Structure 1
Amino acid sequence: MKNSPPRIAIVWRGDREARRTATPQNNRFHRIFEELAAVGLAPEPAVFDEEFADDVLEQLLAVDAVLVWVNPLDDGKTRKVLDPLLRQVAEAGRFVSAHPDVILKMGVKEVLYETRELGWGVDTHLYRTPAKFRKEFFPRLQADGPRVLKRNRGNGGQGVWKVDLVNATPNGPAVIQVLEAKGGSVPERVGLSDFVSRCETYFTEGGCIVDQPFQSRLPEGMIRCYMSGGRVVGFGQQLVKALVTPPPGSGREPLQPGPRIMHSASAEPFQTLRTNMENEWTPEMMSKLGLEAASLPIIWDADFLYGPPDASGNDTYVLCEINVSSVFAVPDDAPAAIARAMAMRLHRPSL
């Protein structure tokens, strides 16, 4: 009797109707479904919501592996219910990517602080309490110039702020200009004390704030390096407008980003970055965070900004964030790479 192919559940967020009507063809992951089937696996949709979490758990316990695309923040909803569910599935022997514990190591902004001494790092600080934030941030802003603050968990630019000092008189309150990276945001002038109070919610449930210098080459664009395990599977290049202050006289309309242009892993302009990621930075990150090769996500990405040119005039790269929870869209070659990695993981789990 022929063995049945391994079942792979693809998880994304949706309502009951989306769960009832989901097929491998009628969603944005259709190419991943196709490539998984092409390597002899049996993918199936597993639409998730807290309202029917028990149904999803029952489904996931019956499959062989789980691929998850669910943001940490989504229209007010979090992964507070999903993550324990996925841990239960993993403990039952199913392969889960990305595992919630891996996300907590590499898919949060704190990774920027933990890996600040790697080649992708810059002058990065961490605030774990409102008191530490209130005490240490202003002197740093005053001495070093514009800073970027990032809440530990978020997506879509939520809780990521560029902060400029407008004025600070000896006898008066400091005034700052802040701009959130979230789409549609515009610059806002506010008292420093009021802004610090606004950010106190970021410390709830063990949260923290990461503080980095603003990168002046931001308007030149961002490079998204897509990874499957420890290998680059493509790049995305985009002229970002998040945290770019509109020029004077442009009104208060938010700037719009350019399209993300996808490139293959072999694209010539990015080979230095590829070499650094595959041969140095990813292995060093794994060592620093205590991650094994088998625990690396099937698909993840690292966003880079251009840093100051080196002594030879070559570009340097500064890590902006690592995305693990919900990496999409992906380059054309990535779905096949995801499928190959999954097939290898299931057939040869020691790799």
Structure 2
Amino acid sequence: MKKSIVVFEVEGGSDKHFDGHRKDTMPIVNSINDAGWQAEVVYYRPEWTEGLFEYVSENFDGYISRVNPGNIPGGERGYFDLLTRLSEAGLVGMSTPEEMMAYGAKDALVKLSQTDLVPSDTEAYYDVETFHKVFPTSLSFGERVLKQNRGSTGSGIWRVQLVDKELAASIEPGTALPLDTEIKCTEAVDNHTEVRKLGEFMDFCDQYIIGDNGMLVDMRFMPRIVEGEIRILLVGPHPVFVVHKKPAEGGDNFSATLFSGAKYTYDKPEQWQELIDLFADARPVIAEKLGGDNIPLIWTADFMLGDVVDGKDTYVLGEINCSCVGFTSELDMGIQQLVASEAIKRIEEFAQLTV
């Protein structure tokens, strides 16, 4: 065993600090080095693929991917192919493409829609034709949220509602709305609102479906999102903290991102013990539905408040993230040390299994 871990990044992107790295990358690297191992950052470019494979496979025991899929030059297919080849060469992947696709893809919600975690009327559109056929009817049941697969920080996540409130109240559920129906669309990235015709908006959303791993998830709008989204951040199987993210007040605001003005409160897991227990109990079901329990290294589960049942809140899973979860605001909590120790532990356990 080489006792060495490589950390992948890509050049450029809004997630970079003045030194060219994500703000949480070098703290991870330094924590690995402080633990007596070696860590190094390398940048991915498609034209460097063969050289990267040779260098990394010969010099490292595992890799940590700190790459936002939206920033990958040439698209994610080439990068994912490289990570898969490295895993096949014996490196421990954190996280592997399979884990990112199983846990991080938005259609994980659809796969969990027959559980108590996600509303049963959640669905995904993998082709433009199905989207245009089904969504006008889906919208007749009430406000919806469309989520693109590739976005981050709320980009391509749209709250969609009818402008005409009388029509919304009177329309028979299951009726296909005319394409010239006026709709109000609010994007989570910054809570900006646009009024569009339904057909025009669907044409605009086609871009989210076309291309590698393109899809749109269609989910009912959860009105209690204005009370805040609750995010559990985990390192491996361990809940580290819970972030209560309350959207900015006013209008149709529903986004829980910092960029949109949401306010974050950081709590210890035990302050949300009921939710922590719910998620722990659901883990075997999540593993079964998503095709395996290879838990990502750094991941989050975002919940919204659902209906009150027997005087208690219920929770609805809105998203799982594991492709490149950031924790720049929480570095003073020592998460980078937990990431380093968990990564080293995984490599050591893998080495024992392969002896």
- What residue is the counterpart of 2:307 in the other structure? 308
TM-score (norm 2): 0.82
Cα contact 1:235–1:263 (8 A) shared by 2: yes
Distance 1:243 1:288, change over 3 A: farther
Q: How does 1:1-351 map to 2 (within 5 A)?
A: 6-14=3-11, 27-50=23-46, 52-61=48-57, 62-74=59-71, 78-122=75-119, 123-142=121-140, 144-167=141-164, 173-183=180-190, 185-205=191-211, 206-241=213-248, 245=252, 256-266=260-270, 268=271, 270-278=272-280, 280-292=281-293, 295-312=294-311, 314-329=312-327, 331=330, 332-349=333-350, 350=353
What amino acid maps onto 1:98 in structure 2? S
Tell me the equivalent position of 2:174.
none
Is there any run of 5+ residues in structure 1 with no aligned partner, and where? 248-253
Question: Which amino acid is 1:221 matched to?
Answer: G
The 10-residue stretch of structure 1 (237-246 or 209-218) with the greater mean CA deviation from structure 2 = 237-246
Partners of 1:182 and 1:242 in 2: CA distance: 15
Displacement of 1:333 in angstroms is 4.3
The AA in structure 2 aligned to 1:207 is: G
Distance 2:215 2:136 in 1: 17
1:108 Cα deviation after fit: 0.7
User: Relative to 1, partners in 2 of residues 1:75 and 1:6: Cα closer, same or farther, differing over 3 Å?
Assistant: closer
Aligned AA for 1:256? S
Deviation (angstroms), 1:102: 1.4
Query: For structure 2, which runs of at least 5 residues remain unmatched after alignment?
Result: 172-176
Indicate how the Cα distance of structure 1 residues 296 and 120 shifts in structure 2: closer, same or farther if over 3 A, else same: same
Report the AA paired with residue 202 of structure 2: V
Pair 181,75 (structure 1): closer, same or farther in 2 beyond 3 Å = farther
| Residues 140, 297 of structure 1: alpha-carbon distance in 2 compared, 3 angstrom cutoff | same
User: How far did 1:125 drift?
Assistant: 1.7
Asked if 1 retains the 8 angstrom alpha-carbon contact of 2:189 and 2:260, the reply is no
State the one-letter code of the partner of 1:204. Answer: I
Question: Is the partner of 1:102 in helix, strand or coil?
Answer: helix
Shift of 1:81: 2.4
Indicate conservation of the 8 Å contact 1:234/1:334, yes or no. Answer: no
Distance 1:155 1:78, change over 3 A: farther
CA contact (8 A) 2:136 2:178 kept: no
Deviation at 1:146, TM superposition (A): 0.7
Shift of 1:75: 8.7
User: Structure 1 255/287 Cα, relative in aligned 2: closer, same or farther at 3 Å?
Assistant: closer
Aligned equivalents of 2:89 and 2:153: distance in 1?
A: 32
Question: Residue 76 of structure 2 aligns to a residue in which SS?
Answer: coil
Q: How far apart are the structure 2 equivalents of 1:92 and 1:221?
A: 44
Count of residues in correspondence between the two structures: 329
SS of equivalent residue, structure 1 residue 217: helix
Are the equivalent residues in 2 in contact too, given 1:57–1:89 (CA < 8 A)?
yes
Do the aligned partners of residues 55 and 298 (structure 1) sit closer, same or farther apart at CA in structure 2, a change above 3 Å counting? same
Distance 1:334 1:117, change over 3 A: farther
What CA distance in whole angstroms lies between the structure 1 residues aligned with 2:250 and 2:136?
A: 19
Give the number of the structure whose residues are more often helix, by fraction.
Answer: 2
| Separation in structure 1 between the aligned mates of residue 193 and residue 327 of structure 2, nearest angstrom | 28
Structure 2 counterpart SS, 1:340: helix
SS at 2:279 equivalent: helix
Q: Indicate how the Cα distance of structure 1 residues 171 and 329 shifts in structure 2: closer, same or farther if over 3 A, else same.
A: closer
Contact 2:118–2:318, Cα closer than 8 Å, also in 1 = no
Question: Shift in Å at residue 56 of structure 1?
Answer: 3.4
- Residues 224, 236 of structure 1: 8 Å contact kept: yes
Contact kept in structure 2, 1:233 and 1:337, CA below 8 Å? no
Shift of 1:172: 7.9
1:240–1:51 CA distance, 2 compared to 1 (3 A): farther
1:237 is paired with a residue of what secondary structure? strand
- AA matched with 2:238: R
Offset of 1:103 from its aligned partner?
1.1
Q: Percent identity?
A: 26
**Structure 1 residue 30 displacement after superposition:** 3.0
Structure 1 residues 79 and 286: alpha-carbon distance in aligned structure 2, compared to 1, 3 A threshold: same
Runs (4+) of structure 1 moved beyond 6 Å?
21-24, 168-172
SS, match of residue 71 in structure 2: coil
